[in-house]
Amino acid sequence: MVDVAEEITHDGIMFEAMYCEICIKWNTKSLNGSTIWNKGGCQSLRLDKIKCHETSCMHNQAISMEIKDQTTVSDTLSHQNGKDHSLPHTTLFKPLVELCVELEANNLPYLNKGQNASYTGHSIVNEFLSCQAEVVEKRIQIEIKISQSYGVMIDEYTDISGRKHLALFGKYIHTSWYFKTFILQDIQIPNGTADTILSSIKTYLNDRAGLKLQKMTSFASDGPTVMLGHCMNHRLQLAVSKTFTTFRKIEKTDELLKGLFKYNHYSTVKSGSLDSLQTLLREMNELETENN
């Protein structure tokens, strides 16, 4: 890419000159050692000069260095997506570090300074993640303790190994007076009973996090029966459905009403006839009311 800039001579005369950004980036020179288009601009602002520079050895050398640099990053990304790394996430830590170093990360190259350890093995991944999670968890716990109140949100799930987990979230008012929601802990539980869930929540809040239950002003979950029980509408629906199986007359009445509805609902002709009949009955009722 060509860039035009204003320059000043030793005599104080201003002039415009063209520079090649890619030649400046790789600091290339012409065969005779000239730095025109690089450190010194080309003062002839003509199209033929630009085309001549595009075919020069100086520019081609810069293009080659640019392509080589991009190829190195592309090879690293391709290596990341190879079949050798289609394994659990712990096997990708070393290639990830190598990619970050390739992208000029500032602090990661220091991992390889030691002669007896590189800190890129599989076993170090979980330790790094645990340390990072502990730092974030402690910071959130401190913010919740400062807050006047907090809320708890939970969700129970089962992982691919069939083990039950309890995801525990916290919502609180930050010192800047806005709500923040963070995950507090992912707790593995032996079963999904109400006693186990309640015990796990109280153990974490009281013993590990040091949070007072008196400051908890809200609680939310996805509504399983072991946590909240059935809502009033659900209880009524369950009671009515159980009644149908006990009293045959009620079940027959329900089937009759459903049959009448389907008979008229799924046919436009029958629905139109029903509307006409309703209109006629309404007019007859109004006429009878007027006569009385």
pLDDT in tens, 24-57: 888 888 877 777 777 777 777 778 888 888 888 8
Which pLDDT score is estimated for 65?
84
Tell me if 279 is assigned to some domain: yes
Number of domains in the chain: 4
Which pLDDT score is estimated for 98?
78
Tell me if 128 is assigned to some domain: no
Tell me if 189 is assigned to some domain: yes
Same domain, 144 and 202: yes
Same domain, 155 and 214: yes
Same domain, 215 and 243: no
Tell me if 129 is assigned to some domain: no
Which pLDDT score is estimated for 53?
81
Tell me if 225 is assigned to some domain: no
Tell me if 77 is assigned to some domain: no
Same domain, 105 and 159: no
Same domain, 58 and 93: no
Same domain, 51 and 10: yes
Which pLDDT score is estimated for 254?
82
Which pLDDT score is estimated for 21?
84
Which pLDDT score is estimated for 29?
82
Tell me if 226 is assigned to some domain: no
Same domain, 56 and 21: yes
Same domain, 191 and 146: yes
Which pLDDT score is estimated for 79?
56
Beta-strand relationship, 216-220 and 150-158 = parallel
The set of residues, in sequence order, having a beta carbon less than 8 Å from that of 206 and lying 6+ positions away, is 213
Same domain, 209 and 271: no
**How far is Cα 7 from Cα 29, in angstroms, rounded to an integer?**
20
Tell me if 206 is assigned to some domain: yes
Domain membership of residue 153 as a residue range: 134-220
The residue ranges of the chain whose pLDDT is under 50 are none
Helix (H, G, I), strand (E, B) or coil at 167: strand
DSSP, res 150: E
